[in-house]
Amino acid sequence: MRKMAVAIILIAILCSVACARMPQIGDHVSIYSGYYSVTFEGTITDIDNGLICIRESRKDREGNDIEFNRCIGIGSIYTLTWPDEFK
């Protein structure tokens, strides 16, 4: 019985590790930066040299869409989520 419990725990641990996901270029992500205490949302354009660059789009005061690139240091990222997966 004890071996069965250990086997179940090991399987649960292996399943949770296998579900981890790495961000890829082209993914739409939401990044919360603990350093800035702000959330950035956009599409990943580059991952290089300790930075993740995203293309954000927002509306200006007149309602026009504006797009700009922003690079965030990997060390300042507190959470990274894929908001499209939760819709």
Would the pLDDT of 28 be above 90?
A: yes
Q: How high is the mean pLDDT of the chain?
A: 85
Rounded to an integer, the average pLDDT of 48-61 is: 91
| Residue 74, helix vs strand vs coil | helix
As a whole number of angstroms, the distance between CA 25 and CA 40 comes to 16
- Domains in the chain, CATH or no CATH each: 22-86 (2.30.30.100)
Tens digits of per-residue pLDDT, 30-53?
999 887 788 999 999 999 989 999
Confidence band (pLDDT; 50, 70, 90) for 1?
confident
Amino acid 15: pLDDT: 66
Q: What is the pTM of this model?
A: 0.69
DSSP 25-49: TT-EEEEEETTTTEEEEEEEEEEET
